[in-house]
């Protein structure tokens, strides 16, 4: 079996920029071609893109996507909850249940996209996620 990925489509002959890779990842797409998915299932990074064949399975985002998802969701839910509390002062239990539901829904929706964005940026920077501090790809010959 041929392990080398096929050439990029004619519309994208060069390696995309970091911003393009980020945006493609945020759309849950392959950072190289923007057509195939970066994942198999909900959060598992696919071994290779099913459209262009780019290897992605070696990229380990670890806890980064969870951290950024908490950061984003927290900045949405907390001001929203404070605004609702100040304007309508709803009963505590339904209010907390609603806030928990909104929090879980936002996490469920945003986590795959944020992980895709992180995988896209890591791919654009040629990172795998297991680099030693200060050890750049150019120093290791990758």
Which one, 32 or 61, has the nearer CB to Zn ion?
A: 32
Contacting Zn ion (CB under 5 A), which of 21, 22, 24, 32? Answer: 32
- Supply 86's token pair: 């100040």
- Is 21 a binding residue for Zn ion by CB under 5 A? The answer is no
Out of 22, 49, 59, 124, the residue judged to bind Zn ion by CB under 5 A: 49
Q: How many C-alpha atoms does 8 have within 13 Å on its Cβ side?
A: 12
Angle of the 92-124 helix axis to the 18-26 helix axis, nearest 10 = 140
According to DSSP, residue 75 is labeled: H
Among 16, 25, 36, 65, binds Zn ion (CB under 5 A): 36
Question: Shortest Cβ distance from residue 114 to Zn ion (Å)?
Answer: 19
33 binds Zn ion per the rule CB under 5 A: yes
What 3-state class would DSSP assign to 55? Answer: strand
Q: Of 22, 26, 30, 121, which one interacts with Zn ion (CB under 5 A)?
A: 30
Could you report how far apart the first and last alpha carbons of the chain are, in Å?
23
Binding site for Zn ion (CB under 5 A): 30, 32-33, 36, 49, 51-52, 54
């Amino acid at each position: 079996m041929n392990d080398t990925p096929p050439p990029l489509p004619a519309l994208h002959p060069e390696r995309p920029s970091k911003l393009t890779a980020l945006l493609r990842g945020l759309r849950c797409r392959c950072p190289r071609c923007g057509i195939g998915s970066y994942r198999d299932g909900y959060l598992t990074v696919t071994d290779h893109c099913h459209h262009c064949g780019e290897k992605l399975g070696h990229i380990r985002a670890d806890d980064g996507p969870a951290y950024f998802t908490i950061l984003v969701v927290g900045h949405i839910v907390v001001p929203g909850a404070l605004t609702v509390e100040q304007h309508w002062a709803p009963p505590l239990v339904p209010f907390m249940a609603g806030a928990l539901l909104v929090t879980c829904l936002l996490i469920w929706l945003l986590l795959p996209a944020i992980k895709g964005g992180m995988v896209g940026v890591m791919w654009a920077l040629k990172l795998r996620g297991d680099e030693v501090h200060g050890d750049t790809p150019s120093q290791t010959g990758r």
